Structure 1
Amino acid sequence: MTTSPNADSESNNGPRIRRQEVVADLGQQALETDNLDELLHDAAAAVAETVDAEYASVLELLPSGEELRLRRGVGWPDDLVGTATIPAHSSSYAGAALRTAQPVVVEDLDDDDRFSDSDELRERGVKSGLSVSVGPDERPWGLLRAHATERRAFSDRDAAFLRSVATVLASAVENARTERRFEAIFEDPNILVGLLDPDGTVLDINGTAMEYIDADLADVTGEPFWETPWWGRGDDARADVEEWTNRAAEGEYVEFETDLTRPSGERYTINGVFRPVTDDDGDVVSIIVSDRDVTERKERERYLEDAKAQLEAATDAGAVGTWEWHIPEDEFVAGPSFARTFGIDPEAARDGVPLESLLSSVHEDDRDRVERRIEAAVENCAEYEEEYRVRNADGEVRWVVARGTVEADDDGNPKTFPGALTDITDRKQAELEAEKQRKQLETLFQVLPVGAVVADADGTLRTANDTAREIWGGDVFDAASVDEYAKFDAVWADSGEPVDLDEWTMVRVLDGEAVTEPNIYEINAFDGDRRVIMQHGMPVTDESGEVTRAVVTLTDITERREFQRKLEESNERLEQFAYAASHDLQEPLRMVTSYLRLLENRYGDAIDGDGQEFLDYAVDGAERMSEMIDGLLAYSRVETRGDPLEPVDLEGVIDDVIDDLQFQIDETDAALELSALPTVEGDASQLRQVFQNLLDNALTYHDDDPPRVSVDAQRQGEQWEIAVSDAGIGIAPEDQERVFTVFDRLHGQDEYEGTGIGLALCQRIVERHGGEIRIDSEPGEGTTFTFTLPAAE
């Protein structure tokens, strides 16, 4: 494509000089400014004014090469500048201008059929245009264009002017690119860069390097490079840096590596170069210092050196040995640690021994296998690896792993067989012990009297023991995810409500919950039976706390629940009986007592001494019978009439008991020693009865000395152990179990009063709380009653 054939008819020099001035001004601006967009805008404005065009634009070719973006321009709406794009394919007006070194002139867009796409110009009434490429022909940066709304023929002088402006813009674009590349290198976050005068004066330092010292750029600019804070104080590396600078100023390319210290005291290592920069005459005009922090690399090198030293130490210690078997000569050359492992003289092994010398030390149970594997490796010139046992010179059996590769000659024949041997005795023994424990655990898992099920983190049921399968009535533990647990049909045993999927013990455990308070379900087993089961569960987690498996135990408590139900029914019948008996017996006893008192009041004067004694006996007997009936009723109601267990402060309980017994305490001149008492899970009313009965016994059964009573408490795991001790008359060993039997008394009524039911009531109350009560006593030495109660959470 060529310019318009119209010749330039201008005859005066004014417009030509003006155009030269515009180009010169733009060229000067390009040298002085670092604002490329401002230059592009000014160039577009100058072109529009100079060639008398309504539109002028600078278009930038986008990286895809498919579109041009309106970078800057005049005559265009502001919202299009910087955003609008046009096609750059070869058949378009803009694309054609990109692909030719000559300006492209269009006199009338409506009549010009060379281009397939110029709608954006026609929409704005453009008739004529002139376009030139910006940048090298082989890879243009973009276009410079001018357009007029009236039909006109742009002259050759117009085309030359746009070409000159485009040359200025191309130079500015390339300078900007160069500047960006320099900045990218200079500000590389991985490279420390400095720019020096030939005499070593600092001109500039990049930000990455400045982060290594406690100073600002202004503090080091203008200073000799070797006196800046990077190089320490005193003699350190400063003399070396001055020498490297002087050598670079002479034109030498100086590589260096040195250890330095940050202001924080942290040591680091840099590796880099002093690079001279020369002019066209070869004179050094500046020096670029570039280096990298290679601390990590140096640490890796030190690590590898340490690892090598450790390997050598391990070899010397006998943990690792090396060998090389020269196959045709059957000379097996080995290191001293290898030789010692096989019970061979190290000196002989250094010179070479037959392979059979080593095979004879291999454990007899492993020898044939090792020989076969060696033969196969030699036959196929292949790699070799085998674990086996050997007997050393002391007869000790050691586990080893041998690894090697058979090397062949040019004809493919086996030539040498080098390798290394590692003593793995400790590891192998640990593996064997772990395998033994695994088998023991598997055996225990299968013989457990409770069911056990293990699931993976996604809910896949991994394994279940025989007891679990019996509980569910068959091999049903094949769920591949939590969602499949819906096939297990169950209701809550206490409420009869269906068990939702997220309420299953396994699901809760997979969510990370430890289910220590059991879930009680009534299930429809797959063998058709209904069973009541109790489940506990515990998650298994990795080092990061993520659940990797879940373990759930199942206990069939169907019979236990039935027994409990029958026991509750029995207790209810016992209470009903006791209540009926107390009601039916109390009334006659009250009548007998009343008539005896009436007889005493009305005929007392007529009754002699023996008669009065007989009358007193009868009244006392009736009253004791009434007390025994009340005690029996209380004994029968321990399970059915007790309050729910809740936290109870035993300090408050015993204070109330002491208030009730205060008269007896004062009357006997008793001494009480009370330790601090805890808070337990219990029934406050029943626990008060326990302390009342035990303290009353201690105050009653004493010798001539005043009673001495102590109450103490000690924590035992999840329970509290309460001890009530006295220094009373004590109890003979053969009678100690009798004290907890209802109505079984050790003393006559004439010796000590009582109903014979108090300690039996204490035992039943303690057992209702999940504890137990015991007695320790020596006749004449005193008695201690010890009972346990659950600790309150």
Structure 2
Amino acid sequence: MSIDQDFHSGVLEALYQHTTHAVVVVGKDRRVQFVNPGFTKMFGYEPGEVIGHTTEGLYRDTAQFQEIATELAKLGGQPPDDIYYALYRSKSGHEIIGETKAAVFADKQGNPSGFIGIIRDITETVYRTGLAEETEQLFRDALESVHDTAWRMDLVTNEIELAGPAAADIFGIKEKKGRLSLDEWKQRLTDDGVVACKRFMQDLLNTGHAQTFLTFQQPDGALIFTRDTGRVIRRAPDGTPLVAAGTFADITERKALEEKSTETEQYLDSALEAADLAAWRFDLVGNTCRLSGPLARLVNLKSENEEFTGAYWCSLLHRDDVGEVIRQTAAMAEGRSNSCDVLYRLKDKAGQWRWIRSIGGVTSRSDDGLGLVANGIIKDETETVALRKNLEAERNRFETIFRNTPAMLHQIDENGVVRDVSAYWLSHMGYDRDEVIGKPASTFLTEESQIYAENHALPDFMKNGRAKNVALEFRKKNGEVIDGLMNAYLETRSGTGERVGYGVITDVTQLRRAYRDLERSNRELDRFATIASHDLQEPLRKITAFAGILASRHAAKLDPDGIQYLDYLSDAAARMQRLIDDVLEYSQLEIRPMKPERLSLNALITDIKTRLSTSISQTGTTISVSGSDAILADRFLLNQILQNLVSNSIKYHADQPPDIRIRMLDEPGGWTISVSDNGIGFDPKFASQVFEPFRRLHPRGEYEGAGIGLAIVRQAVDRQNGRISVDTRPQNGSTFTIYLPRHSAQQNVA
């Protein structure tokens, strides 16, 4: 309906005529169409003075009128849904603070045709509230200054009002003032705090007043300790408590200080007792002192905590130490020093001299800076002084040994400068001591070693604290170059933090030469073995070939002796061929590079069975494998070990078919492989000899072979840093046991 129709109907007009609030009806152009008596009373305008005019003149200033227009535009011509506050101006010019609620009127088609506003004058209320808030703020500031928070609780609804710092600190309430329920209150309490809170409420309801200590937990987990007091301030006619009020004070800091103080006292007493110390207090003005603590028992006093004079104390001291004690005490009394730290000898009750260290400082001063009171501790350092003397004597002894030991020793600082060297170092290098001390250690190296030492060896040593087998070339005073291996240790001395390096240099020049000679010899031996085997095999092949031709083409022309001699020749050539092959294989084992890899014992034995299939078939040999299967080893070397042992077991079998049992155990340190058979065995006294090259325990014609098989086994085991042993008895078979260490295989892999 339209505005005119609405008000001409008289319904709304009668309603607004009797309200005490100002009612203003305006059109879309914000011109006044209607005002009620409440408006006239509030603003002082008669209806005829404002109807037809815009509402701009009702506001305190034009800016606010424009702000409302802008807000209406933002809201699409709709007034705010909520109550808003505006500053108005009456006809007489007085400022009116108005609480305003606006609504839209629409025509018959539903289109907005104007607004109605109801204004409540809250000027006096705001003024009074301002005074109350100012008073309340003063009260809250006072509470905060003493870390107290006021509370008031409706005992019927369990709603709590808070004002003070804890409102924000504990409950996160802004402005440090707000409301919360008793349940919300309890949610911030620790378990002990909840129990204490229940007891507090019971006392409050039963007696009308209560006091307790509560522990709250902040959102970040920190604990706040409080002292809570309160009383009932309002009751129902029947005496039922309705409202209670009180305060709770934050005593967290005080509690922490109390606990710290108690802890400190306990710690001090325990520390004095455990460390055998005594605490002292010296009156610098009255020249009197008191001792407390276990160490006081050493002093010739009538009782613990007995007061005695400084003169008496000095009478107990060694005469050579009295002067320093008096000097430091006087410096504190005269304000020239804040502390003392003096070591002196004191005669104990038994008449023995004890080394005592007194440490302390001024704890009270006069206005002019003079010391009044000093406090500190005394510590028995008799054993420490004795130990220090022993250490000094030991250090001197070490220096003597260091200088005179028949080894190349040197001492450097953290910059690599030589501090000391042994006499042997000087004699071996040809220098005088003053030519070495204070010089960089790298001065005595060749140019190439200098670069390596300064850029790598020395920085690594200072970082890791150790140097192990660092190869360097040293140049003697006469220009001769020697090969050296450096091993060193870095010591960081306690107290000073000084770092000193101690090094031992081993002259390995002769060893290096021998090693190079050995390498050259091995190369020549390898070359000789290869050439020799070739040169030896060439005539053997011819002997074998021509012997075969003679046997096939001219056997009819030979008498029986000739044929037998020809057989001897062929057999000797074959044995010579096997011997050459075995010797070449034996020589190659020592120089062949190691290549450890993951292997399967079963797979290796399967390959060996294939290679030895003829002899296995002819002798009816059975081979069984048990235990672990995986092993880390060199394939060639392990194959040599197993094949030679299996071949020996087949060769030296008894009357029954060979039964060979192979078992492997995977142990923490490595692998143990045993090869057992039911063969002829041998006397245990030959257990070590059977591994020697060309060592045979049986006549040559009885068993074929050159006697080098077990020597190959032994060498293959040694190459892998292993061990081999044999357990045997004649006609009772043999068990060969091989142990291959795990670390050796891993190192070779690395």
- Looking at structure 2, the residues matched to 352 and 455 of structure 1 have their Cα atoms a distance apart, in angstroms, of 52
The answer to whether residue 549 in structure 2 is matched with residue 586 in structure 1 is no
Query: Counterparts of 1:232-247 in structure 2 under 5 Å?
Result: 232=194, 235-238=198-201
Q: Are the structure 2 counterparts of residues 742 and 478 from structure 1 closer, same or farther at C-alpha, using a change threshold of 3 Å?
A: same
Of stretches 322-331 and 742-751 in structure 1, the one that deviates more from structure 2 is 322-331
Selected match of 1:649 from 599, 607, 618: 599
SS of the residue corresponding to residue 461 of structure 1 reads coil
SS of the residue corresponding to residue 563 of structure 1 reads helix
**2:585 match:** 634
User: Per-residue displacement from partner, 1:563-586 (whole Å, max 9, x unpaired)?
Assistant: 333222212221222223222222
**2:179 match:** 221
Q: What is the letter of the counterpart of residue 198 of structure 2?
A: D
Shift of 1:319: 1.9
Selected match of 2:260 from 293, 299, 303: 303
**2:621 match:** 669
Selected match of 1:461 from 387, 402, 416: 416
User: Per-residue displacement from partner, 1:484-503 (whole Å, max 9, x unpaired)?
Assistant: 99x984389xxxxx96986x
Q: Are the structure 2 counterparts of residues 314 and 587 from structure 1 closer, same or farther at C-alpha, using a change threshold of 3 Å?
A: closer
Q: Are the counterparts in 2 of residues 461 and 477 from structure 1 also a CA contact under 8 Å?
A: no
Selected match of 2:575 from 624, 637, 660: 624
Q: Are the structure 2 counterparts of residues 238 and 549 from structure 1 closer, same or farther at C-alpha, using a change threshold of 3 Å?
A: farther
- Looking at structure 1, the residues matched to 666 and 349 of structure 2 have their Cα atoms a distance apart, in angstroms, of 58
- Looking at structure 2, the residues matched to 323 and 708 of structure 1 have their Cα atoms a distance apart, in angstroms, of 87
Q: Are the structure 2 counterparts of residues 568 and 308 from structure 1 closer, same or farther at C-alpha, using a change threshold of 3 Å?
A: same
**2:11 match:** none
User: Per-residue displacement from partner, 1:184-240 (whole Å, max 9, x unpaired)?
Assistant: 989x9x989677699997456689746746999999727589976557365344478
Shift of 1:625: 1.2
Shift of 1:259: 3.2
**1:280 match:** none
SS of the residue corresponding to residue 791 of structure 1 reads helix
Q: Are the structure 2 counterparts of residues 464 and 593 from structure 1 closer, same or farther at C-alpha, using a change threshold of 3 Å?
A: farther
Q: What is the letter of the counterpart of residue 725 of structure 2?
A: I
SS of the residue corresponding to residue 198 of structure 2 reads coil
Percent identity (aligned): 20
Q: Are the structure 2 counterparts of residues 507 and 374 from structure 1 closer, same or farther at C-alpha, using a change threshold of 3 Å?
A: closer
User: Per-residue displacement from partner, 1:290-331 (whole Å, max 9, x unpaired)?
Assistant: 85572x663453133123124334556782335689999999
**2:745 match:** 791
Shift of 1:697: 2.9
The answer to whether residue 214 in structure 2 is matched with residue 262 in structure 1 is no
SS of the residue corresponding to residue 746 of structure 1 reads coil
User: Per-residue displacement from partner, 1:721-752 (whole Å, max 9, x unpaired)?
Assistant: 66656675556566444444433333322333
- Looking at structure 2, the residues matched to 243 and 23 of structure 1 have their Cα atoms a distance apart, in angstroms, of 62
Shift of 1:597: 3.8
- Looking at structure 1, the residues matched to 347 and 595 of structure 2 have their Cα atoms a distance apart, in angstroms, of 67
Q: Are the structure 2 counterparts of residues 726 and 353 from structure 1 closer, same or farther at C-alpha, using a change threshold of 3 Å?
A: farther
Query: Counterparts of 1:26-105 in structure 2 under 5 Å?
Result: 26=60
User: Per-residue displacement from partner, 1:613-644 (whole Å, max 9, x unpaired)?
Assistant: 5544433222111111122222333355x356
- Looking at structure 2, the residues matched to 257 and 404 of structure 1 have their Cα atoms a distance apart, in angstroms, of 42
SS of the residue corresponding to residue 221 of structure 1 reads strand
**1:693 match:** 644
Q: Are the structure 2 counterparts of residues 655 and 209 from structure 1 closer, same or farther at C-alpha, using a change threshold of 3 Å?
A: farther
Query: Counterparts of 1:175-254 in structure 2 under 5 Å?
Result: 202-203=160-161, 209=167, 212=170, 221=179, 232=194, 235-238=198-201
- For structure 1, the 5+ residue unaligned runs are 1-20, 30-37, 46-170, 248-255, 276-285, 493-497, 542-547
- Looking at structure 2, the residues matched to 242 and 564 of structure 1 have their Cα atoms a distance apart, in angstroms, of 101
Query: Counterparts of 1:51-450 in structure 2 under 5 Å?
Result: 202-203=160-161, 209=167, 212=170, 221=179, 232=194, 235-238=198-201, 258-262=213-217, 268-271=223-226, 292=250, 294=252, 298-313=255-270, 319-322=276-279, 337-338=294-295, 340-341=297-298, 369-370=320-321, 373-374=324-325, 383=340, 385-386=342-343, 401-403=357-359, 420-423=377-380
Q: Are the counterparts in 2 of residues 226 and 239 from structure 1 also a CA contact under 8 Å?
A: no
Q: What is the letter of the counterpart of residue 416 of structure 2?
A: L
Shift of 1:754: 1.8
- Looking at structure 2, the residues matched to 381 and 677 of structure 1 have their Cα atoms a distance apart, in angstroms, of 82
- Looking at structure 1, the residues matched to 58 and 207 of structure 2 have their Cα atoms a distance apart, in angstroms, of 44
Q: What is the letter of the counterpart of residue 567 of structure 1?
A: L
Q: Are the structure 2 counterparts of residues 331 and 500 from structure 1 closer, same or farther at C-alpha, using a change threshold of 3 Å?
A: closer
Q: What is the letter of the counterpart of residue 232 of structure 1?
A: V
Of stretches 597-606 and 615-624 in structure 1, the one that deviates more from structure 2 is 597-606
**1:106 match:** none
Q: What is the letter of the counterpart of residue 631 of structure 1?
A: D
Number of residue pairs matched by the alignment: 582
Q: Are the counterparts in 2 of residues 709 and 724 from structure 1 also a CA contact under 8 Å?
A: yes
Q: Are the structure 2 counterparts of residues 506 and 751 from structure 1 closer, same or farther at C-alpha, using a change threshold of 3 Å?
A: farther
- Looking at structure 1, the residues matched to 304 and 194 of structure 2 have their Cα atoms a distance apart, in angstroms, of 55
Shift of 1:268: 3.0
Shift of 1:416: 11
User: Per-residue displacement from partner, 1:11-45 (whole Å, max 9, x unpaired)?
Assistant: xxxxxxxxxx9999559x9xxxxxxxx989989x9
TM, length-normalised to structure 1: 0.53
SS of the residue corresponding to residue 703 of structure 2 reads coil
Q: Are the structure 2 counterparts of residues 338 and 500 from structure 1 closer, same or farther at C-alpha, using a change threshold of 3 Å?
A: closer
Q: What is the letter of the counterpart of residue 627 of structure 2?
A: S
Q: Are the structure 2 counterparts of residues 463 and 378 from structure 1 closer, same or farther at C-alpha, using a change threshold of 3 Å?
A: same
Q: Are the counterparts in 1 of residues 621 and 660 from structure 2 also a CA contact under 8 Å?
A: no
Q: Are the structure 2 counterparts of residues 686 and 193 from structure 1 closer, same or farther at C-alpha, using a change threshold of 3 Å?
A: same
- Looking at structure 1, the residues matched to 175 and 305 of structure 2 have their Cα atoms a distance apart, in angstroms, of 65
Q: Are the structure 2 counterparts of residues 192 and 328 from structure 1 closer, same or farther at C-alpha, using a change threshold of 3 Å?
A: closer
- Looking at structure 2, the residues matched to 655 and 192 of structure 1 have their Cα atoms a distance apart, in angstroms, of 91
SS of the residue corresponding to residue 621 of structure 1 reads helix
- For structure 2, the 5+ residue unaligned runs are 1-54, 71-126, 231-243, 334-339, 493-498
Q: What is the letter of the counterpart of residue 461 of structure 1?
A: G
Q: Are the counterparts in 1 of residues 484 and 506 from structure 2 also a CA contact under 8 Å?
A: yes
**2:725 match:** 775
Q: Are the counterparts in 1 of residues 226 and 249 from structure 2 also a CA contact under 8 Å?
A: yes
Q: What is the letter of the counterpart of residue 643 of structure 2?
A: Q
Q: What is the letter of the counterpart of residue 270 of structure 1?
A: F
Q: Are the structure 2 counterparts of residues 714 and 336 from structure 1 closer, same or farther at C-alpha, using a change threshold of 3 Å?
A: same
User: Per-residue displacement from partner, 1:522-547 (whole Å, max 9, x unpaired)?
Assistant: 78889755565667899999xxxxxx
Q: Are the structure 2 counterparts of residues 198 and 607 from structure 1 closer, same or farther at C-alpha, using a change threshold of 3 Å?
A: closer
Q: Are the counterparts in 1 of residues 167 and 173 from structure 2 also a CA contact under 8 Å?
A: no
- Looking at structure 1, the residues matched to 388 and 208 of structure 2 have their Cα atoms a distance apart, in angstroms, of 62
SS of the residue corresponding to residue 597 of structure 2 reads strand
- Looking at structure 1, the residues matched to 636 and 665 of structure 2 have their Cα atoms a distance apart, in angstroms, of 19
Q: What is the letter of the counterpart of residue 312 of structure 1?
A: D
- Looking at structure 1, the residues matched to 328 and 487 of structure 2 have their Cα atoms a distance apart, in angstroms, of 54
Q: Are the counterparts in 2 of residues 201 and 225 from structure 1 also a CA contact under 8 Å?
A: no
Q: Are the structure 2 counterparts of residues 265 and 26 from structure 1 closer, same or farther at C-alpha, using a change threshold of 3 Å?
A: closer
Q: Are the counterparts in 1 of residues 59 and 65 from structure 2 also a CA contact under 8 Å?
A: no
Selected match of 1:747 from 698, 710, 714: 698
